[in-house]
């Protein structure tokens, strides 16, 4: 009996030590086939909006539009794989987040990035932001950006 409880305790400890246990878990079952046209995606992101297209335990897909600056973001367990569809913005990435607050388990928002690098993103660009890397989208007045984010669990 003692061996069974030690084994059960060891298994539980291993399961709780995995990254999946340390972050928000998405519980949507596997989707059926979906297709979204660019017009569909545009309709979902009128103004500064986002819409989740698919949400699962190990990945999710979101479409976003920004017409103003975002906040500094950092995700402990999610990689952001971004495809720019329209417009342009400056992406600042790397360095250190200042003023960071955890808004939900494993997801942080901050006030600035120190020591990061910046580049301008345009339609057609693809960017991979690994988990743990601070990043910020800045949009010039009168401009906007629309993009897809494929989030994958690290």
Q: What is the pLDDT of residue 6?
A: 43
Q: What is the pLDDT of residue 125?
A: 98
Q: Is residue 4 in some structural domain?
A: no
- Say if residues 122 and 83 touch (Cβ distance below 8 Å): no
Q: Is residue 19 in some structural domain?
A: no
Mean pLDDT, consecutive 10-residue stretches, the chain (154 aa), reads 44 41 56 88 87 90 95 97 98 98 97 98 98 98 96 93
Q: Which residue has the tokens 């992406």?
A: 91
Q: Is residue 20 in some structural domain?
A: no
Range of the domain at 61: 27-153
- Say if residues 24 and 119 touch (Cβ distance below 8 Å): no
Q: Is residue 14 in some structural domain?
A: no
The domain tally of the chain equals 1
User: What's this model's pTM, rounded to 2 decimal places?
Assistant: 0.78
Q: What is the pLDDT of residue 12?
A: 37
- Alpha-carbon torsion angle 12, 130, 73, 44, nearest 10: -100
Which one, of 134, 149, 150, 152, lies nearest residue 65 by Cα?
A: 149
The token pair at 94 is 């790397």
Dist. CA 51–CA 36, nearest whole Å: 12
């Amino acid at each position: 009996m003692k061996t069974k409880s030690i084994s059960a305790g060891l298994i539980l400890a291993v399961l709780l030590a995995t990254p999946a246990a340390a972050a928000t878990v998405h519980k949507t079952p596997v989707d059926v086939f979906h297709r979204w046209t660019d017009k569909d995606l545009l309709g979902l992101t009128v103004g500064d909006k986002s819409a989740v297209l698919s949400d699962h335990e190990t990945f999710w897909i979101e479409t976003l539009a920004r017409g103003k600056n975002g906040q500094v973001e950092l995700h402990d367990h999610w990689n952001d794989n971004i495809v720019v569809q329209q417009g342009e913005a400056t992406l600042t990435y790397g360095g250190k987040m200042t003023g960071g607050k955890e808004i939900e388990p494993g997801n942080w928002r901050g006030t600035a990035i120190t020591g990061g690098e910046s580049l301008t993103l345009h339609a057609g660009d693809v960017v991979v932001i690994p988990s743990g890397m601070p990043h910020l989208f800045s949009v010039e007045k009168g401009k906007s950006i629309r993009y897809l984010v494929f989030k994958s669990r690290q």
